[in-house]
């Protein structure tokens, strides 16, 4: 079986949540070809899903040594930095990914999130809205944008986005939880305003 077929198989395992099996398969690819950057990306991506950030970082940085301008490896590394709260490095890495592969909704989603959480809320929302315009049915984008609007106390926009996400994915637990939280805070702020 050629490496590209194994990569597809590893990706399918990852999508099923079988991260350890996907890592084992990617490691098999690496043993066959130490310069196969995509296998290192696959390892990094799976370790990211398992929240094993040190292992993910090692794999992704090695992948970037092999292919310095891989948009996927740059995106995954930017996502990793965002997940660990290093928004400065996340923005720097994701902006490079965006230059290599412009107008990719997933890169823009993560970039907008990192910029918003680094303190530039307005610019972060603009970038997230751009990602949404490119991929209007992407529930990850809808949910991230909703969370940012919630942080900005824009309850109507938050609730509307989450209801949209739940129409697309009725079983989306993140969207359900966020919607409950948004409605709770909307009620509390309304009570607060009325009591003044």
Average pLDDT over residues 69-75: 96
> Domain residues of the chain, as ranges?
1-68, 140-196
Q: For residue 158, what are the CA distances in angstroms to 82, 111, 146?
A: 22, 19, 4
Q: For residue 71, what are the CA distances in angstroms to 2, 107, 114, 148?
A: 23, 9, 17, 25
Can you give the pLDDT at residue 52? Answer: 97
pLDDT > 60? residue 1: no
CB distance 40 to 60 below 8 Å = yes
Rounded to whole angstroms, the Cα distance separating 78 from 135 reads 20
Please state which of the four CATH numbers 1.25.40.80, 1.10.10.10, 1.25.40.10, 3.30.70.1400 is assigned to the domain occupying 1-68: 1.25.40.10
Rounded to whole angstroms, the Cα distance separating 192 from 186 reads 10
Q: Residue 195 — very low, low, confident or very high, per pLDDT cuts 50/70/90? A: confident
Can you give the pLDDT at residue 67? Answer: 95
CB distance 162 to 147 below 8 Å = no
Instruction: Report which secondary-structure segment, H or E, holds 183.
Output: helix 173-195
What are the tens digits of pLDDT across the range 126-184? 999 999 999 999 999 999 999 999 999 999 999 999 999 999 999 999 899 999 999 99
Lowest pLDDT segment from 40-44, 54-58, 124-128, 173-177: 173-177
DSSP 101: S
Phi and psi at residue 118, in whole multiples of 5°?
Answer: -85, -10
What are the tens digits of pLDDT across the range 20-30? 999 999 999 99
């Amino acid at each position: 079986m050629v490496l590209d077929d194994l990569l597809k198989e590893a990706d399918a395992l990852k999508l099923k949540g079988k991260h350890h099996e996907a890592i084992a398969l990617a490691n098999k690819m690496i043993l066959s070809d130490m310069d196969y950057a995509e296998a290192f990306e696959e390892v990094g991506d799976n370790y990211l899903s398992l929240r094993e950030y040190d292992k993910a970082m090692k794999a992704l940085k090695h992948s970037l040594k092999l292919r310095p301008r891989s948009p996927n490896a740059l995106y995954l590394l930017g996502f990793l930095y965002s997940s660990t709260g290093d928004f400065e490095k996340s923005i720097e890495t994701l902006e490079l990914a965006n230059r290599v592969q412009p107008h990719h909704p997933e890169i823009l989603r993560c970039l907008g999130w990192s910029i918003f959480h680094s303190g530039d809320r307005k610019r972060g929302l603009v970038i997230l809205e751009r990602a949404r315009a490119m991929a209007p049915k992407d529930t990850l984008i809808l949910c991230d944008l909703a969370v940012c609007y919630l942080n900005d106390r824009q309850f109507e926009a938050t609730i509307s986005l989450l209801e949209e996400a739940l129409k697309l994915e009725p079983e989306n637990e993140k969207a359900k939880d966020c919607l409950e939280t948004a409605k709770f805070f909307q009620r509390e702020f309304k009570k607060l305003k009325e009591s003044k």
